[in-house]
């Protein structure tokens, strides 16, 4: 199955790309997508992805199809998902 991951903020600066299309196995979960991202962008292991449990580091968030925030690395991704990966910025 294919998913598209859009990058915003620090993730976009790191990748120098606005998005990437990934081919994952049917029924893949968020952690599978993060593993695929780490294989394309190894620097994500230092900055974005916590490889100890294949989740995002606390300062990053993931949104599914512009509607749902995802925190669970075991969340099963629907085929054709559009994911938005961005840094969680706090300001005031």
Distance CA 56, CA 2 (A): 20
Domains and CATH numbers, the chain: 2-87 (3.10.20.30)
- Cβ atoms within 10 Å of 83's Cβ, excluding its own: 22
Q: What digits encode the pLDDT tens for the residues 25-74?
A: 999 999 999 999 999 999 999 899 999 999 999 999 999 999 999 999 99
Rounded to two decimals, the pTM is 0.92
Confidence of residue 88 (pLDDT cuts 50, 70, 90): confident
Share of the chain above pLDDT 90, in %: 92
Residues 6+ apart with CB under 8 A from 49: 34, 37, 38, 55, 56, 57
Phi, psi of 12 (to 5 degrees): -70, -40
Q: What digits encode the pLDDT tens for the residues 6-34?
A: 999 999 999 999 999 999 999 999 999 99
59 CB-contact burial (10 Å; exposed 0-12 / middle 13-18 / buried 19+): middle
């Amino acid at each position: 199955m294919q998913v598209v991951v859009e990058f915003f903020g620090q993730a976009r600066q790191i990748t120098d790309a606005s998005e990437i299309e990934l081919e994952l196995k049917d029924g893949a979960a968020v952690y599978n997508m993060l593993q695929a991202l780490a294989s394309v962008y190894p620097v994500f292991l230092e900055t974005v992805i916590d490889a100890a449990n294949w989740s995002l580091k606390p300062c990053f968030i993931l949104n599914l199809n512009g509607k749902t925030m995802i925190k669970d690395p075991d969340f099963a991704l629907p085929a054709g998902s559009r994911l938005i990966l961005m840094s969680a910025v706090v300001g005031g």
